[in-house]
Amino acid sequence: MGSRGRTRYAAGARCCLISSVPPVAQIVAMSRPSRFLFVIAPLVLGLVVGGCAEEPPSPVAAVKVERSHMLASAPPPTLFTIVPASRAQSADPAFQVAANLVAAQLERLGHRRIVGDGAARAAWKISLETSISAGGATAGSGLTYGFGWGQPPLRVLGGGQEVTSASAQAGAASSVEKRLAVTISADGKTVYQGRAVLFDPSRDLVAALSPLSRRLLDDFPGPLGAQGQSR
């Protein structure tokens, strides 16, 4: 082999040798600045991604439900009407939203709402109350109506079970309490009373009515007594 051929062969051998150098050796062979960037860049990226992934979840609002009733566990399909307490309440946006949500929950279970002139045929007369309060003071969203489950405890159902008002959540000074109460009467007697209370920082009563009605009536008429559950 001539000198030119030997030179070409040696150059090719060197290229093969460099391409087969192990990764660690390649890092060592780098200049100091390049080696610093090669090692530090992945660590910085990992810290950024890890910091984003470790953000704490947003707090979950707590919903408390209380019920007292004398209904069967699965009442047969029944005609019902929702009756406002006054003309002012019927014009209240919060009442209107609550009425539609409550009606939708009951109709999902096979019951049927009657409005207008035919309401007199309804077997169930339903009244609703909504309220919002923070720090012991009642605040309003439109017109609101206080719930009559105060002290002393209210006795319902003609000497039936005693239902007490929901206590304020311990240490929840920054929480706002929003309530939805549903009362059902049949033949002049109260057959169902239920209340859902939601604690969270929001002062939007109307937005809270959807989780309140769902939690209260999802398993209508539901178990007696008080139950707590996340939103």
Least confident of 44-53, 112-121, 168-177, 199-208: 44-53
DSSP output for 178-227: EEEEEEEEETTEEEEEEEEEEEES---HHHHHHHHHHHHHTTTT--SEEE
Least confident of 43-47, 62-66, 158-162, 212-216: 158-162
At residue 175 the predicted structure's pLDDT band, cuts being 50, 70 and 90, is: confident
Tokens of 67: 């019920």
CATH topology of domain 62-230: Double Stranded RNA Binding Domain (3.30.160)
Sign, CA torsion 88/215/155/111: positive
pLDDT at 42: 55
pLDDT digits (tens, 9 = 90+) for 112-141: 999 998 999 999 999 999 999 976 555 443
pLDDT at 62: 80
pLDDT digits (tens, 9 = 90+) for 43-71: 555 554 444 444 443 445 688 999 999 99
CA–CA gap between residue 224 and residue 156 (Å, rounded): 13
Helical H segments across the chain, by residue range: 3-19, 23-29, 32-53, 87-90, 93-108, 205-217
Instruction: Give domain limits for the chain.
Output: 3-53, 62-230
Q: What is the mean pLDDT of residues 72-93?
A: 96
pLDDT at 41: 55
Q: What is the mean pLDDT of residues 33-39?
A: 54
Q: Is the pLDDT of residue 20 over 80?
A: no
Q: What is the mean pLDDT of residues 84-95?
A: 96
User: What pTM was computed for the model?
Assistant: 0.62
Structure-model confidence comparison of residues 35 and 187, the more confident one: 187
CA–CA gap between residue 141 and residue 92 (Å, rounded): 9
pLDDT at 151: 34
pLDDT at 227: 80
Q: Is the pLDDT of residue 32 over 50?
A: yes
